[in-house]
């Protein structure tokens, strides 16, 4: 009888572990939705990277801004639930002596959602529209563009390893 009790107890104990599943944890190195990578260049000597002073990037409808200073490369998130994202890019935003200038840039794209795993869910990739990937406008009353030219380098935004857009100012 003792032997039957031990076998029954052992079966109950081992069966409790058979229902365990692997933990659903998304590894930190798993690729996520990439941001748009923009490099800034001198508009006169177009092969020279140029640092941006006091750049404030505000997404349309966003309550906060991204601020950059003394950098020649920025990363901007794109909306995954729409086919465009509009940013207000203001140069010299905190400067006391330099003139502030604001340009509005609208990025047009299509979104592709890719399933990663049950733990990680989906990530989005973007394809910038070839005909009208960017639309540059000025706010009312501003007649000078600080961004002189925009060049699409890579229209497929799949990773953050590549430069997607070059802006010249």
Span 47-56, pLDDT tens digits: 999 999 999 9
Residue identified by tokens 């200038």 is: 101
Q: Is residue 22 part of a domain?
A: no
- Split into its structural domains, the chain has a count of 1
Alpha carbon distances (Å) from 149 to 126, 136, 146: 22, 9, 9
pLDDT of residue 3: 59
List pLDDT tens digits, range 31-48. Answer: 899 999 999 999 999 999
Q: Is residue 3 part of a domain?
A: no
Q: Is residue 89 part of a domain?
A: yes
Q: Is residue 153 part of a domain?
A: yes
CB-based contacts of 28, cutoff 8 Å, min separation 6: none
Give the predicted TM-score (pTM) of the model: 0.83
Structure tokens given for 4: 């039957």
Q: Is residue 161 part of a domain?
A: yes
Cα–Cα dist 127/34, whole Å: 12
Confidence of residue 128 (pLDDT cuts 50, 70, 90): very high
Half-sphere exposure of residue 3: CA atoms within 13 angstroms, side-chain side = 0
Residue-range definition of the domain harbouring residue 107: 32-168
């Amino acid at each position: 009888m003792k032997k039957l009790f031990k076998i029954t107890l052992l079966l109950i104990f081992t069966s409790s572990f058979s229902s365990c599943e692997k933990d659903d944890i998304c590894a930190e190195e798993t690729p996520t939705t990439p941001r748009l990578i923009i490099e800034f260049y001198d508009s006169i000597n177009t092969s020279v990277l140029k640092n941006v002073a006091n750049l404030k990037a505000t997404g349309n409808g966003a309550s906060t801004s991204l601020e950059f200073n003394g950098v020649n490369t920025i990363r901007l998130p794109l909306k995954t639930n729409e086919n465009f994202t509009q940013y207000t890019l203001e140069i010299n935003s905190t400067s006391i002596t330099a003139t502030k200038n604001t340009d509005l840039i609208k990025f047009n794209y299509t979104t592709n959602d890719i399933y990663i795993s049950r733990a990680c869910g989906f990530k989005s990739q973007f394809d910038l529209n070839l005909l009208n990937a960017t639309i540059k406008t000025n706010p009312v009353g501003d007649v000078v563009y600080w961004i002189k030219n925009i060049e699409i380098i890579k229209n497929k935004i799949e990773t953050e390893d590549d430069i997607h857009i070059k802006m010249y100012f």
